[in-house]
Structure 1
């Protein structure tokens, strides 16, 4: 079983799909691991560390991928990369399949068996494989660090001989994994933290972290969560009531962090232009959903926008990648935990159990076809 770890073709992607720790584990499974030279450089892992863990180093992507049974990546292979893989190769990565049907078709036509790690079901046995959680956790932490950096003032209350410095007010919108970590980090830094979400279960979580919950708690709010634990899209009437409440609250905030995403849909707009305009000069908005269109009106992907009233809208791309070493370590562990379930440990070969619930949930292409139910042609 030959496992290839390739460099990412996107220059803005510093993460890597394997670290020395997981290379050792793959080797223990009986795999031969080949790492493309430089794959871990941006994540702080030199080629020598991979060699010390038992991998061999290939000079090019072509050499690394040649005869590979399994290819590990962070992001979906680029179309021009597919020719490097032999037909039948298994590829595991964050595939970003929604809205990228042409890319799925290209992978199917290349004869690849592909698996999207972000489609992993949120069940107990798959927790260790949950890349959305591992990466969002880091994004929430980094959002607060970036917010504090851009804010330009102290976060905690300070009582000094020269007078008292008030604590920064931080408002977190969307209390998933990223939001909860943002709340915890902002609290550790001494900020006064409030948070909002449409899912009733989050109120207790927010309050357990020492923050205050802000929401219109009507009957619709009480039914606002899917069986999978995701937020439902709310009615226009509820959205207006919630927006009115948020508008009065947001004008008093120093840092706003938005994290709201609905799988397969554009990011919902949570902060209007008028809300941004109501904020004080020097206020900061960190939009973690900017890659899906953003939660903040006026946010631009990859840019920091300074508004007319002096507020900053921060739209960093790939926020987990801003902590490349830690993000790579967690992602690599997620990958290994999943791949381990695909391996026959006695034969030391890939032996995918196609009826396994994890496989069915994540398998995008197989035998020349796009097989995932969510990406079939619409009738």
Structure 2
């Protein structure tokens, strides 16, 4: 019974071989799994960071394109502004020179004022004559349908600027005055060329609204061209670029299907406008969202990078589907799992090999002891071993020899 118990113990889980095999397998498996998880997480972070850099480069590139279009728009405006100022200066100077031919009588002055009131330049350009205090002297037309102040709605501050500029002019000089939104209806801006006639106490002002040369159509055409270019670019296979204006309305969306919609209506982007409002120009914000675009049945995790373009008040962003980014990571994950399994299998084989080397001499000793014979011989390979098992075998052999000597006596 004892021998049977010993056999069962030596062949079961409690045997040294199986315990050594389990320990070695655990020591190989645990670090391998930890290293595999670390490698996977590292690869994931590197892919996300690389994708973020790529998206930033794409968005920054469109910032540059937008800057080029905006610079072209400003260049055209500067050229038009220069030409308008030259034209207004020429008109104001010419009208000022006409004053020398005007008689001193009231009838002659009224005729001159009526003639000046009939001068038109573009849609809003007019010439007005003011006195030194800034009060208008010329009328709109022969019927006297109000004065120039009523038509152009010149506020008192604007007239003050004209008078102030006229007082600072040297003889024969023309000054330029601009008056802006705070006092002008509907936010219009006026530009005036000022010429002073000190001998009469008159101030000649050729005035034109900025809307005559600052074409909203030109800006809209340039913006539409930029938006069409942005909408045509794809990011990866399914990713896209988008643009939101300062009011949170989509100017460019995926396949132009959400153009005109409020960004707050898109789940995951509801606080985009407030997030983008505080960031500096060409600084980037990255965010991971889970949303569903028009035409998609399911929600998809997406990575977005956006930045604010302050020149036109746009928020330009790029969106890429996370599953596209992680497609390569899945292949890496399979490779990591294959390597882990290979290490575990290789470690298990090594553990089996070394456990066999350790337990084989012990089994030889067990077999000798199990025979119950004092004449049983322990193999030389066991006795010649230089480790603890060899020492145990020599001690066991000496014990057997000592017993044989005792019995022979």
State the TM-score, normalizing by the size of structure 1: 0.22
Which one has a larger percent helix, Structure 1 or Structure 2? 2
TM-score normalized by structure 2? 0.21
